[in-house]
Amino acid sequence: MGVELEYGEVSAVDYMTCRIRVRLDDRDGVESYWLNVPQRNSQGTKRRPLMPEIGEQVAVLLDADGVGGVCLGGIYSTAEPPPVVDQDTDYVRYSDGTVVSYNRALSVMTVECVGDTLLKCVRGLVVESTQSVVIKAPVATLEIPLVTVKGNLRVTGDIHADGAIMDTTGNSSNHKH
């Protein structure tokens, strides 16, 4: 029994079983049976199934009777070229427009999220940089019971406080000299 390499367009996706159906170009658009989509991990370490999208061009291996087979993955074409051809850049663009990329030649990682970003830790979180850190936002809120600043604090603009401002000796900003 031989195996044939064929190309087609994804016509259905089943995320529960990690299978797809493909409209086969070489078989006059006949739809394949359900084909497995290999995954990077499926035991122990697991990931959300990395599945082709409906309409995506894929390469498939089918057995001689065209019943059983496996999807090898999506393929680029002149109509759908790779988003980046730089050999140093790992790049993911999600269908909503969010981009995550890493350029190893420049050592720069970029995350451009079109929605919210949530970083959640059960234990500590350390942000460490040997260069200045800049946070840009129209407004920032810290919901922290205690903030300790080690070093000098420089404020440009007004400080508004709902409670007392005390130094370590108990002096407040309300006293007079």
- In tens, the pLDDT along 77-122 reads 888 888 888 899 999 998 899 999 999 999 999 999 999 999 999 9
pLDDT averaged over the chain? Answer: 88
Residue 130: CA count within 13 A, CB half-sphere: 0
Query: Read out DSSP for 115-151?
Result: S------SS------SS------S------S-----S
Residue with the larger pLDDT of the pair 104 and 49: 104
Short-list 54, 49, 39, 50, CA closest to 9: 54
Query: What pLDDT, on the 0 to 100 scale, is given for residue 58?
Result: 95
Q: What number is the average pLDDT over the span 28-51?
A: 82
Query: What pLDDT, on the 0 to 100 scale, is given for residue 174?
Result: 57
Q: Are 41 and 49 in contact (CB under 8 A)?
A: no
Burial of 102 (0-12, 13-18, 19+ CB in 10 A): middle
Q: Does residue 154 register a pLDDT over 70?
A: yes
Residue 68 pLDDT class (50, 70, 90 cuts) = confident
CA 50 → CA 41, 53, 72, 123, 164, distances in Å?
10, 10, 12, 29, 54
Q: What number is the average pLDDT over the span 133-138?
A: 93
The residue ranges of every structural domain in the chain are 3-74, 83-117
Q: Does residue 1 register a pLDDT over 70?
A: no
Q: Which helix (H) or strand (E) holds 20?
A: strand 19-24
Q: Rounded CA gap, 18 and 150, in Å?
A: 51
Query: What pLDDT, on the 0 to 100 scale, is given for residue 171?
Result: 65
Helix (H, G, I), strand (E, B) or coil at 71: strand
Residue 4 pLDDT class (50, 70, 90 cuts) = confident
Structure pTM? 0.68
Q: Rounded CA gap, 9 and 24, in Å?
A: 7
Q: What number is the average pLDDT over the span 156-166?
A: 84
CB atoms within 10 A of CB 60: 22
Q: Are 23 and 11 in contact (CB under 8 A)?
A: yes
Assign a CATH topology to domain 3-74.
OB fold (Dihydrolipoamide Acetyltransferase, E2P) (2.40.50)
Q: What number is the average pLDDT over the span 167-175?
A: 65
